[in-house]
Structure 1
Amino acid sequence: KKYVGYIWIRGETSAAPVELAIIWGDSDADRVTYRIDSLSSEYKKYEFQLQAGADSENARLEITSAGKGFFQIGTVSLMPADNIHGMRADTIALLKELNSPIYRWPGGNFVSGYDWRDGIGDRDKRPPRKNPAWQGIEHNDFGIDEFMTFCRVVNTEPLVVVNTGLGDLQMALEELEYANGSADSPMGKLRAKNGHPEPYNVRYWGIGNEMYGNWQLGHMPLEEYVKKHNAFVAAMRKMDPQIKVVAVGNVGPWTEGMFRHCADFIDLMSEHFYVGAKKDVVEHVNQAANRVRQIAEAHRRYRREILGGREIPVALDEWNYWYGDHVFGELGTRYFVRDGLGVAKALNEFARNTDVYAMANYAQTVNVIGAIKTTKTAAAFETTGLMLVLYRHHFGHVPVVTTSQNPIIDAQAAILKDNQALAVAIVNPTGEKQRFSLQLEGAKAGDHGQAWDVAGNDPMDYNEPGKPLRVELRSREVSNGELFEVAPYSATIFQIPLTWRDN
């Protein structure tokens, strides 16, 4: 595989020559090198290309001197030559297939200690910081400009969260102006100087993250936070009246207090949930859908009892299963078929509660608790990610009232955008095949259709990056003249052509 890279280096002339080598074995043939024959006392950038001679998960980059002097490395970069603006091509391909309509950045607990200004300008001159929320170092290679580039590459909309933890209003206003201000505004000029003259026109802005929690940097009591929230929103709306703001919510006293004191300063109310593991597969699968429904029921009550009938929609901008061994680094959970089925049933539940939910952001996307997992050399969809792909590409857009006489399966239908077909999603959390027939009111089903499913032989089946996939998205043709069948431990979407009846 071909790699591209560069190094900033300076040193004494006696330190030369300096060699950079990719090494994948023990013999002299198991390496490829780039040689710098002379050094200067000032930092100089050297760009290089190297072609690895074999595949290895134990390769390394070495920088050595054959001289006797002293040298210093400012920074070094090594990436596959097929990278896309510094992002892995294999991962970007999966993200394009996932086709999410919106991404939330930069968090998450991280945002409450993040200064967005650390992540702009020359990447090689950005300050490294201790990660404010998790382990390790934040090198600030991926800031707001890189996030906007990512959104353009995968054709999605950004949701930018401002820091209401340790951050202040001035920081938020400068970030908003940097993103949306004209090129003649102070921060717009800085954006243009950094290579982005046109405003990003970010529509959705999150006002903090989980500020109700004592784990959150800058956490404060509700009675103080409502003042901070309102001040942020008032000033941000004055700067850009077109923005939509997402407030921090947490079902119970916090959300109730936010509605009582901040309703005029909220466009969407954020809610979060994570669920753990249950031994019984059906109970495990039901958890996420139950939480989706419970949050919706709570918000209907808030509309009646607090908001006087006013409807402020919910952005469920973090939700997932979260448990188990950390297989993929810090908090890196592996997901199984049973988790995927839980995600599928939750997606059905969202369709039943579209009067409440305007947005739902599965957390997270890549690695940690993400829908995609990577190694150094491979990337693959988790079972949860496959369910998101299944529904994104094959479920309908207008939910319809759906009832099932089989209490084992979870069924939800929706009409496709063109009104020419009905999508029926069936989640079967059991180890037995299930069969059903369709009865429609107001339309007639066509004779033939298509079905797609994600299924496992075992509820604990999973995918491993770089190894043959055990769980995949499959498709088949179906006929309406017979019973529809779904596999054990599966989520299936049927698309059936419709002929509308005259009323």
Structure 2
Amino acid sequence: MTHTNATSTISRRDALRGIAGAACAGVAATHAAAASAKRGTAPLLSIDPTPRHAISPHLYMQFMEPLGVTDSSVEAAWDHSRNDWREDVVEATRDLGPTMLRWGGIYTDFYRWREGVGPRESRPPMQNLQWGGIESNQIGTVEFYDFCTRVGADPLMCVNFESDGRRRFMTAGGKSRVGDAREAADWVSFCNDPDNAERHALGMRSSLPIRYWQIGNETSYDNQGFDFDTAARKTVEFAKAMRERDPSISLIGWGDSGWAPRMADAAGEHLQMLAFHQMFNPDSSENPVLEGERYRRDPDATWRQLMSAWESNDRKIREVRDSLGGRDIALAMTEHHFALPGRDRCDVLSTWAAGVSYARILNNHQRHSDVLRIATAADFCGNRWQVNAVMIPTPRGEGRAYLMPVARVMRLYRRHLGRHAVEVQDTPAGLDVVASRTGNRVFVNVVNTDRDHTLSARAIIGGATITSASAQVIVDDPMVEVSQLNSDQVMQATAKTLATNGEWQFPPASVTAVTVTVDA
């Protein structure tokens, strides 16, 4: 990918003023843009529209884990007075539009799925051995599947992989919390077998078909858990037992910390994907500017630091994929978000600057979509942690559930993703661009990494003629923070009509999803 120099010097204030006007009357080209188009001096944005590899629809997965007293999470999303999901959480999630929801995390190391099915009065509460407090088990397999159905998401289940060998999760209150291969296989049958007697005995005739299942969660992160050889052997054991119940399921094994090539060799014939995680601090270790409230002291330094965060994400993905040495197995980044010191995992994550930073990471995920089949950039929901996609104000009267900055970008990109990747060949300096295609529509996701200036581009899509072009743009002051008080006013997507001659402008600190119709 080559870069050329951008020439625009329109200020962020002018750009924001222009966007506000566009919401009422459409967007007319500025004098500067018209002059640039006439001279043909805008830097080249060149896209080869030839379809390449298929892109998975699961690059914007969300991850649901009961987090006890640390972040109410699932319990906060449940209305115990109605024995149902909070309506505002369902509504916000539908708006977000995830194509996949994952149940699990470290929680599954001590989760016994049978405790969360059947009559509510007979479901025993359980101690959350990782995050503290008590989980009610009122939200179990059936409720999770129902939520996925309501919001249009494919469910992904993490099984209890014999507590990943971690002794601290193996017992609670004198009772075993270990789930073996038989228990995992029974879970597959309970969900997927139309004739499952255990489910029928509970009065549920219809199956709950779940295709995706993960075996092992962060297994390599704990030297008190399974070593590789044990994990590999047990992965094969679990996979065989689970697939015997339903041969059509897709299984994900654990492959982080250098395990990927060895797990592919030892268990790859039984797996479709290998999972890895990345929770990282994007701050400078020498001169931190993001942690706590520091980001408010120096907006310029905050912006620069956040704009480079995608590089760590890229290194992580390349480390895992390169380690495979060409082995034919896909990857699943089933957990990923920033991990910053500060109140509720750091207030900076409520800023639009963080949203733009995550947009660069999501662009990077798409660049690796030839091997990356599942990815995320947030935890799913909760009432405290600002790494969440959906924030749930509690108690209920404090406001409605709303989308955090990262979720606003995920919502935008999720609806502007083609079925196949296409190559971005030339990109103007300061813009971060990826593209995809479905039929005669080309989707171009653009991040303007310049916080102060509008950047221009002259788009060429192979030899095709652009017959129409439109965009959804999110632009705001990078230091604006979202909360239940302003969630319907800030970081809003605005529709624009773009010129068919390809002379386009991108406001400062903006994320834009362009949809282009071409004649070929």
TM-score normalised by L of structure 2: 0.72
After superposition, the Cα gap between the structure-2 partners of 1:236 and 1:405, relative to the gap in structure 1 and judged at 3 Å, is closer
Q: Deviations over 1:442-498 (max 9, x none)?
A: 31212x4211122221x2322102435322222222223463111111111111221
The structure 2 residue matched to 1:383, chosen from 405, 421, 433, is 405
Change in Cα spacing, 1:396 to 1:371, as seen in structure 2 (3 Å) is same
Matches within 5 A, 1:325-404: 325-327=342-344, 334-367=349-382, 368=385, 369-376=387-394, 377-404=399-426
Measure, in 1, the Cα distance between the counterparts of 2:347 and 2:184: 31
Aligned pairs for 1:225-240 within 5 A = 225-240=231-246
CA contact 2:182–2:241 (8 Å) conserved in 1: no
2:350 aligned counterpart, secondary structure: coil
1:266 aligns with 2:266: no
SS at structure 2 position matched to 1:413: strand
Q: Quick check: 1:117 aligned with 2:122?
A: no
Encode CA deviations 1:23-50: one digit per residue, 9 max, x unaligned.
xxxxxxxxxxxxxxxxxxxxxxxxxxxx
- Percent identity among equivalent residues? 23
The counterpart of 2:261, out of the listed 246, 256, 277, is 256
The one of 302, 306, 317 aligned to 1:284:
306
Judge conservation of contact 1:316–1:357 (CA < 8 Å) in 2: yes
SS at match of 1:394: coil
- Which stretches of structure 1, 4 residues or longer, exceed 4 Å deviation after superposition? 78-81, 330-334
Letter in 1 for 2:138: D
What pairs up with 1:94-493 in 2 under 5 angstroms? 94-105=92-103, 107-164=104-161, 165=163, 166-183=178-195, 188-214=196-222, 219-252=225-258, 254-278=259-283, 279=289, 280=301, 281-287=303-309, 289-304=310-325, 309-327=326-344, 334-367=349-382, 368=385, 369-376=387-394, 377-415=399-437, 417=438, 419-431=439-451, 432-446=453-467, 448-457=468-477, 459-468=478-487, 469-481=489-501, 483-493=503-513
Q: Which amino acid aligns with 1:112?
A: D
Contact kept, 8 Å, 1:325 with 1:334, in 2: the verdict is: no
Partner of 1:45: none
Distance 2:208 2:327 in 1: 31
Per-residue displacement from partner, 1:235-292 (whole Å, max 9, x unpaired)? Answer: 112222111100012142x2233223222222100111122243442442332x3344
Higher relative contact order structure (alpha carbons within 8 Å, sequence separation ≥ 6): 2
Shift in Å, 1:143: 0.3
2:46 is matched with none
Alignment CA distance shift 1:285-1:147 (3 Å): same
Report which of the two has the higher share of strand. 1
The 3-state SS of whatever aligns with 1:454 is strand
Q: Report the alpha carbon displacement of residue 196 of structure 1 after superposing the two structures with TM.
A: 2.1
Q: Give the superposed CA RMSD.
A: 2.4
Asked whether the 8 Å contact 1:282–1:430 carries over to 2, the reply is no
Partner of 2:30 in structure 1?
Answer: none
Inter-CA distance 274–161: structure 2 relative to 1 (3 Å threshold): same
Cα distance between partner residues in 2 of 1:480 and 1:299: 41
Q: Larger helix proportion, structure 1 or 2?
A: 2
Residues 57-113 of structure 1: CA distance to partner in whole angstroms, max 9, x if unpaired?
A: xxxxxxxxxxxxxxxxxxxxx9598x6x611111111111111111111x2111111
Q: Give the Cα separation in 2 of the matches to 1:338 and 1:403.
A: 27
Preserved contact between residue 264 and residue 327 of structure 2 (Cα < 8 Å): no
CA distance, structure 1, for counterparts of residue 317 and residue 131 of structure 2: 31
What letter is aligned with 2:226? M
Q: When the two structures are aligned, how many residues end up with a matched partner? A: 402
Residues 404, 411 of structure 1: 8 Å contact kept: no
Shift of 1:405: 4.1
Unaligned 5+ runs, structure 2:
1-77, 164-177, 284-288, 290-300
Distance 1:379 1:91 in 2: 6
Aligned residue number for residue 37 of structure 1 = none
User: Which residue of the other structure, out of 84, 87, 90, is the alignment partner of 1:89?
Assistant: 87
1:443 match: secondary structure = coil
Larger Rg: 1
Deviation per CA, 1:205-238, whole angstroms, max 9, x where unpaired? 10021111228xx722112211111111111122
Q: Deviation per CA, 1:126-161: give whole Å up to 9, x if none.
A: 111111210221111110011111111112211111
Q: Where does the alignment leave 5 or more consecutive residues of structure 1 unmatched?
A: 1-77
SS of the counterpart of 2:200? helix
Instruction: Please say if residues 206 and 247 of structure 1, whose CA atoms lie closer than 8 Å, have aligned partners that are also in contact.
Output: yes
Separation of aligned partners in 2, 1:385 and 1:489: 17
